[in-house]
Amino acid sequence: MSAAALNPDVLVALLHGPDRPGIVARVSGWIFERGGNILHADQHHDRSSGVFIQRIEWTPANPSAAAADADAFRAFANSIGMNARVSSSGARPRIAIFVSKFDHCFHDLALRWKSGDYACDIVAVVSNHRDLEVAARGYGLPFHHIPVTAATKDDAEAAQLALLQSLDVELVVLARYMQVLSESFLAQFGRPVINIHHSFLPAFAGGRPYHQAAARGVKLIGATAHYATAVLDDGPIIQQDVTRVTHRHSVDDMIRLGSDLEKIVLAHAVRWHLESRVLVYGNKTVVFD
Amino acid sequence: MSAAALNPDVLVALLHGPDRPGIVARVSGWIFERGGNILHADQHHDRSSGVFIQRIEWTPANPSAAAADADAFRAFANSIGMNARVSSSGARPRIAIFVSKFDHCFHDLALRWKSGDYACDIVAVVSNHRDLEVAARGYGLPFHHIPVTAATKDDAEAAQLALLQSLDVELVVLARYMQVLSESFLAQFGRPVINIHHSFLPAFAGGRPYHQAAARGVKLIGATAHYATAVLDDGPIIQQDVTRVTHRHSVDDMIRLGSDLEKIVLAHAVRWHLESRVLVYGNKTVVFD
Amino acid sequence: MSAAALNPDVLVALLHGPDRPGIVARVSGWIFERGGNILHADQHHDRSSGVFIQRIEWTPANPSAAAADADAFRAFANSIGMNARVSSSGARPRIAIFVSKFDHCFHDLALRWKSGDYACDIVAVVSNHRDLEVAARGYGLPFHHIPVTAATKDDAEAAQLALLQSLDVELVVLARYMQVLSESFLAQFGRPVINIHHSFLPAFAGGRPYHQAAARGVKLIGATAHYATAVLDDGPIIQQDVTRVTHRHSVDDMIRLGSDLEKIVLAHAVRWHLESRVLVYGNKTVVFD
Amino acid sequence: MSAAALNPDVLVALLHGPDRPGIVARVSGWIFERGGNILHADQHHDRSSGVFIQRIEWTPANPSAAAADADAFRAFANSIGMNARVSSSGARPRIAIFVSKFDHCFHDLALRWKSGDYACDIVAVVSNHRDLEVAARGYGLPFHHIPVTAATKDDAEAAQLALLQSLDVELVVLARYMQVLSESFLAQFGRPVINIHHSFLPAFAGGRPYHQAAARGVKLIGATAHYATAVLDDGPIIQQDVTRVTHRHSVDDMIRLGSDLEKIVLAHAVRWHLESRVLVYGNKTVVFD
């Protein structure tokens, strides 16, 4: 599943558009005619909406012409009515991690990145608190302290945006960042933001989800990684998982057990995003895992 | 875990009341002094509310005096400020199953009962349709057709109540019964009603939960067995489970996969109820499994 | 996932052979050129062995020519070095279920079949005991009692084989059949046999796996559906699942919990086989689910 | 579940011995009479072997006399034929972590310990390689490099033993330590050693379990935490878990997915051991979680 990560010469396309006969044949034919070799291809036909979605990985005939091939593929896809996003496995997206005080998701992401498991560059750790500054610098990551209060929220978001833009950040990961990003911030940033919410959404959206879960008496607690949108905890879901709890578990126990869920759910979502496995589609995702 | 089911001479008590030092010692001391032998004991101290909850199974010294022992235990429990429900493993609760047209939960319950897995008597199958009449009679179960329309709902519920009371039904299981029981029905019946809802409650309460789940793009679908209360899909949860879905699963696939979840979740809830393993407590349950 | 089951005009091919560039393009091109419409296609490149494997579903241009298209596709596949098995969704494989005394897997399969969930004809229930005769006839299924003892095993297998051949049985499902089929039987039958083993293979192969699991103190028990081969419990695995147990579970509890696992694992394996989703490959399977 | 961790004045006893009527009453009576307050009590009656096992947590009447109470409880337990281990929640066991080059389990344990999640002191990190030296020191942990070759194994074990004894280490955790500890080492150390094995034992004991799993074509891979004994990968199992794999997963993918399993399985096992929740019994464990 990690061919792209291992091979710098692989192109990965995610394409979608109106379904009609022959798309698979034309796409694979185009690649074959240019001497490419398809490594993986997975497609989905959404019957209810008539949409065709495909993820395809291939090695171009001439690695040095990969960028040209990517451009040519985009043009070809458009010519058959498809929207395409093409990335090269050699590219390393620039990402920023937003944190507050909880550190478990941050350490988890940083260690996976440090071990070479994530093909990306973490170019900034941004926090409204200083608690994780030493940890971030310990991993060799630049740390930016941007405090946020009700009064300064607009200014703080402006500072965050300026930072992201100056660093050309392509993905923001909210690793238990305890502030809600405004609709305006998301619109201006205009690039994906992945959030981890500590419940099985849509159950227990909003604040203190473990307390909500304990009050309702559920037998499973969950975590949900999703793209952030203007509506809180309502964006397209990338990954979810749950773990069993009983009456013996206090809210503190749920928080502890849940933190392991949060780490693994966020880790999968980030990995799939980095490997171009996630296509947003309506308010849902198709994940080619 | 099935000592009670195997041994006709076992008493099982569920007790709860204000927590204070010495309850465990006094309860076990009382049983020991009367020559009883404790087979299992499990207790829970709810710190936040100061409530003590215990389930205890024992063989009385003299099996023929089990009924007297049960009465004596209740009196003893009251004397130390506890509320106790005591049942004998020899007792076979009388239950009614309500169904509509879906048959998977019905067959599952009937087969478990027929194989001797459930220590109860199924004294009635009640339905607003005739679809499962032949199947019910095939298992040797009395079938009662009580049609329900918006206009006749009150009369239908009156007929259901009269039937349940005439049969001394102690538990109703709603095995995908597609009518909402009124608050008045539940109050007049006054005994437990277990429902299976085809979602991970509190997500997707109400109608067509698999359609809701598909629309929201969740990555797991679930089922929830709970005691029915006046508020739809809001009663104390007994058991929940989930299974993974992807973009490849249509709503029909979810319905099919979900039906296996519904069967097993409801089967566990009914079994735990029959074995006196479930104590309702606020709007939550303690399940001693 | 059930397009084939719903649509009588769908062709499904499973093909495999030496991997080389252009196969996807050629296969999809062939279908497109003949006016077919690809509904699903999924492929796998096994890097270590250089094998290409594909499952592809399509509607032929002219439903009445589906059989001819299937033949033509096989010939085409051979021409590009691929081995292909093509089936029409209109075909209903003829299957036989072998049982002994345990009835849970049998009821589960029969109910799924009766509800229309399985696109097959169950043409025989074969047993070495008479225990399930009434149940089989209750589902309208022909029951054949073929007793087996150590002394009569060869004759019994000969009788089973004669029956299977006279009925043109295409798949045998061993639904907790408690006799080991001989190597000779499997060779002479020459068609797939699916078995359910009540452990997480390769742990606890052979007899009394729940007793073995209890003795070893494992924390999860499992079930495995696999194709039967000459080596006991060693054939290609189709599906596995597990459930958690604790010290509180006796062997009897494990047997009860395990029976639910066995049902669902076997049900999935049979469904996937019937939908042409399973390709055996070495001693492993590729399951396109 | 973490009362002991939160409250320095709690005593926890694990006791076991021949089952007979009245033990629960006598144990709880003893605590009650001395003014103690039972917080949790859980017991297990092993019917097949006639053994009674109990874990009980209580606050003694006088915290300053906790040590005396622990001694008195041990004597009392012996007087009723029970073997008892009593620990105070204020005690912090001294543990050593053995590592080689894989760092995921090490970081996971170190971060949990650093966050205060484990009530223990990590007094040594021991490795046959220098790879994790910087990481260990980064957490403020003393690192000891003791190289091991076939020729020097006896000397290396002697050095390890001397170190453990000089530090009064009470528990060794093998966090993917890639050397087999000899029977002699285990006997001389004489205290618990927890190992994490990267398979669902007893499947795939020994070396390269993910390669074994890939070769066998299993659909789930697992991890097992167990106490190390003289027979490799055969000691009492504390915890196990599994995750699903498909034909798409290479051995490298299994290694990556499995590393998350290993972390969480080992983390649970260590926590349960530290909280006196694990009683070894025959070659099995009772885990009071």
Q: Which residues in chain B are contacts of A240 at CB distance < 8 A?
A: 218-220
Residue among A89, A83, A20, A94 nearest A281 (CA): A83
Q: Contact at 8 Å (CB) between D53 and D279?
A: yes
* C-beta atoms of A2 and D111 within 8 A: no
Strand ranges, E, within chain B: 11-18, 37-46, 51-59, 83-88, 94-99, 121-127, 143-145, 171-174, 193-197, 220-227, 237-244, 278-281, 284-287
Strands of A193-197's sheet, edge to edge? A143-145, A121-127, A94-99, A171-174, A193-197, A220-227, A237-244
Write out the residues of chain B at the interface with chain D, using a CB-CB cutoff of 8 A. Answer: 21-22, 24-26, 28-29, 31-33, 35-43, 45
Mind listing the pLDDT tens digit for each residue in C178-203?
999 999 999 999 999 999 999 999 99
Query: At A1, is the pLDDT very low, low, confident or very high (cuts 50, 70, 90)?
Result: very low
In total, the C-beta contacts within 8 angstroms joining chain A to chain C are 50
Write out chain A in H/E/C secondary structure: CCHHHHCCCCEEEEEEEECCCCHHHHHHHHHHHCCCEEEEEEEEEECCCCEEEEEEEEECCCHHHHHHHHHHHHHHHHHCCCEEEEEECCCCCEEEEEECCCCHHHHHHHHHHHCCCCCCEEEEEEECCCCCHHHHHHCCCCEEECCCCCCCHHHHHHHHHHHHHHCCCCEEEECCCCCCCCHHHHHHHCCCEEEEECCCCCCCCCCCHHHHHHHHCCCEEEEEEEECCCCCCCCCEEEEEEEECCCCCCHHHHHHHHHHHHHHHHHHHHHHHHCCCEEEECCEEEECC
Mind listing the pLDDT tens digit for each residue in D255-270?
999 999 999 999 999 9
| CA neighbours closer than 13 Å in the CB half-sphere of residue C40 | 23
* C-beta atoms of B41 and D39 within 8 A: no
Query: At A45, is the pLDDT very low, low, confident or very high (cuts 50, 70, 90)?
Result: confident
Mind listing the pLDDT tens digit for each residue in C193-251?
999 999 999 999 999 999 999 999 999 999 999 999 999 999 999 999 999 999 999 99
Choose the final residue of a domain: C66, C88, C110: C88
Dihedral angle computed from the Cα positions of residues D181, D185, D191 and D196, in that order, rounded to the nearest 10 degrees: 0
Mutate which: B38, B43, B248, vs D, most D CBs within 10 A: B38
Q: What is the mean pLDDT of residues C258-272?
A: 98
Residue among C259, C107, C123 nearest B135 (CA): C107
Of B29, B32, B41, the CB nearest to D43: B41
For the full predicted model, state whether its pTM sits above 0.90.
yes
Q: What is the mean pLDDT of residues B273-288?
A: 94
Q: Which residues in chain B are contacts of A47 at CB distance < 8 A?
A: 250
Of B21, B39, B43, the CB nearest to D41: B43
pLDDT at A64: 83
Q: What is the mean pLDDT of residues D42-67?
A: 88
Q: Distance between CA A216 and CA B237 in Å, rounded?
A: 8
| 3-class secondary structure, B28 | helix
* Same-domain pairing of A163 and A199: yes
Q: Which residues in chain C are contacts of A31 at CB distance < 8 A?
A: 25
Chain C: touching chains (3 or more CB pairs < 8 Å): A, B, D
Count Cβ atoms below 10 Å from residue A114 Cβ, excluding itself. 16
Give percent of chain D with pLDDT exceeding 70: 97
pLDDT at A3: 41
In total, the C-beta contacts within 8 angstroms joining chain B to chain D are 50
Dig out the tokens for B162 from the structure: 């009269």
Q: What is the mean pLDDT of residues A214-227?
A: 96
Query: At C5, is the pLDDT very low, low, confident or very high (cuts 50, 70, 90)?
Result: very low
Residue among D139, D129, D215 nearest D176 (CA): D129
Dig out the tokens for D188 from the structure: 């001389």
Dig out the tokens for C145 from the structure: 């009692």
* Same-domain pairing of B174 and B101: yes
Nearest chain C alpha carbon to B106: C111
Task: Quickly list DSSP for C52-69.
Answer: EEEEEEEE-SSGGGHHHH
Q: Distance between CA B255 and CA B198 in Å, rounded?
A: 9
pLDDT at C155: 97
pLDDT at B54: 95
Of B203, B237, B248, the CB nearest to A44: B248
Nearest chain D alpha carbon to B3: D47
Query: At B3, is the pLDDT very low, low, confident or very high (cuts 50, 70, 90)?
Result: very low
Query: At D48, is the pLDDT very low, low, confident or very high (cuts 50, 70, 90)?
Result: confident
pLDDT at C63: 81
Residue among A247, A122, A257 nearest A198 (CA): A257
* Same-domain pairing of D157 and D42: no
Query: Catalytic pick from C117, C233, C241, C253?
Result: C233
| 3-class secondary structure, D110 | helix
Confidence check: pLDDT of D187 > 90: yes
| Single-letter amino acid, residue B239 | Q
Nearest chain D alpha carbon to B36: D21
Residue B150 burial (10 A CB sphere; 0-12, 13-18, 19+): exposed
Nearest chain B alpha carbon to D244: B244
Tell me phi and psi for residue D232, to 5 degrees.
Answer: -55, 130
CA distances from D173 to D123, D154, D267, D272, D285 (A): 12, 20, 10, 13, 17
Query: Catalytic pick from A19, A233, A252, A253?
Result: A233
Write out the residues of chain D at the interface with chain B, using a CB-CB cutoff of 8 A. Answer: 21-22, 24-26, 28-29, 31-33, 35-43, 45
* Same-domain pairing of B51 and B103: no
Confidence check: pLDDT of A63 > 90: no
pLDDT at B63: 81
Dig out the tokens for A131 from the structure: 């608690």
Give percent of chain A with pLDDT exceeding 90: 84
Which has more confidence, C64 or A226?
Answer: A226
* Same-domain pairing of C166 and C282: yes
Query: Which residues lie below 8 Å from residue C15, measured CB to CB, with a gap of 6+?
Result: C27, C53, C54, C56, C77, C82, C83, C84, C85
Give percent of chain C with pLDDT exceeding 70: 97
* A159: closest CA of chain D, how far (Å): 31
Choose the final residue of a domain: D72, D88, D104: D88
Of B2, B260, B267, the CB nearest to C252: B2
Q: Contact at 8 Å (CB) between B145 and B129?
A: yes
Mind listing the pLDDT tens digit for each residue in A83-115?
999 998 888 999 999 999 999 999 999 999 999
pLDDT at A8: 55
* Same-domain pairing of D276 and D205: yes
Q: Distance between CA C168 and CA C186 in Å, rounded?
A: 15
List the end-to-end C-alpha distance of chain C, in Å, as a whole number. Answer: 8
Confidence check: pLDDT of B280 > 80: yes
Mind listing the pLDDT tens digit for each residue in B128-164?
999 999 999 999 999 999 999 999 999 999 999 999 9
Query: At C38, is the pLDDT very low, low, confident or very high (cuts 50, 70, 90)?
Result: confident
CB < 8 Å & 24+ apart, contacts of A69-77? A69/A11, A69/A34, A69/A36, A70/A11, A72/A34, A73/A11, A73/A13, A73/A30, A73/A31, A76/A30, A77/A13, A77/A15, A77/A17, A77/A27
Dig out the tokens for C114 from the structure: 């009766």
* Same-domain pairing of D100 and D58: no
Dig out the tokens for C78 from the structure: 């051979």
The parent domain of residue D31 ranges over 3-88
Mutate which: A10, A38, A243, A245, vs C, most C CBs within 10 A: A38
**β-pairing verdict for A94-99 and A121-127:** parallel
* Same-domain pairing of B56 and B166: no
* Same-domain pairing of A25 and A99: no
* C-beta atoms of A2 and D252 within 8 A: yes
Mind listing the pLDDT tens digit for each residue in C114-137?
999 999 999 999 999 999 999 999
Q: Which residues in chain A are contacts of C38 at CB distance < 8 A?
A: 21, 24-25
Of C22, C41, C45, the CB nearest to A24: C41
Choose the final residue of a domain: B30, B59, B88: B88
* Same-domain pairing of B265 and B211: yes
Query: What DSSP element (H or E) covers D43?
Result: strand D37-46
**What Rg do the C-alpha atoms of chain D give, in angstroms?**
20
Q: What is the mean pLDDT of residues B185-193?
A: 98
Mutate which: C108, C265, C272, vs B, most B CBs within 10 A: C108
Cα D222–Cα D225–Cα D229 angle in degrees, nearest 5: 125
Q: What is the mean pLDDT of residues B57-84?
A: 92
Confidence check: pLDDT of C167 > 80: yes
pLDDT at D2: 43
* C-beta atoms of D103 and A115 within 8 A: yes
Query: At D5, is the pLDDT very low, low, confident or very high (cuts 50, 70, 90)?
Result: very low
Query: At A275, is the pLDDT very low, low, confident or very high (cuts 50, 70, 90)?
Result: very high
pLDDT at B285: 96
pLDDT at C8: 55
* Same-domain pairing of C171 and C257: yes
Residue A126's CATH number: 3.40.50.170
* B220: closest CA of chain A, how far (Å): 7
Total domains, chain D: 2
Query: At A204, is the pLDDT very low, low, confident or very high (cuts 50, 70, 90)?
Result: very high
Q: Distance between CA B80 and CA B26 in Å, rounded?
A: 9
Q: What is the mean pLDDT of residues B97-103?
A: 98
Average pLDDT, chain A: 93
Residue A9's CATH number: 3.30.70.260
Least confident residue range of B6-20, B62-76, B171-185, C17-31? B6-20
Q: Which residues in chain D are contacts of C205 at CB distance < 8 A?
A: none
* Same-domain pairing of C76 and C123: no
Nearest chain B alpha carbon to D54: B41
pLDDT at D8: 55
In total, the C-beta contacts within 8 angstroms joining chain B to chain C are 32
Is position A233 annotated as part of the catalytic site? yes
pLDDT at C7: 57
Buried b (16+ CB within 10 A) or exposed e, A216-252: bbbbbbbbbbbbbbeeebebbbbbbbbeebebebbbe
Of C32, C36, C42, the CB nearest to A42: C42
Query: At A7, is the pLDDT very low, low, confident or very high (cuts 50, 70, 90)?
Result: low
Query: At C58, is the pLDDT very low, low, confident or very high (cuts 50, 70, 90)?
Result: very high
CB < 8 Å & 24+ apart, contacts of A153-162? A153/A179, A153/A182, A156/A128, A157/A181, A157/A182, A157/A184, A157/A185, A160/A126, A160/A185, A161/A185, A161/A188, A161/A189
* A210: closest CA of chain B, how far (Å): 13
Confidence check: pLDDT of A2 > 80: no
Residue among C80, C91, C81, C106 nearest C11 (CA): C91
For residue B32, the 8-state DSSP code is H
Q: What is the mean pLDDT of residues A46-70?
A: 89
Mind listing the pLDDT tens digit for each residue in A125-153?
999 999 999 999 999 999 999 999 999 99
Count Cβ atoms below 10 Å from residue D280 Cβ, excluding itself. 17
Mutate which: A117, A256, A272, A288, vs D, most D CBs within 10 A: A256
Query: At D12, is the pLDDT very low, low, confident or very high (cuts 50, 70, 90)?
Result: very high
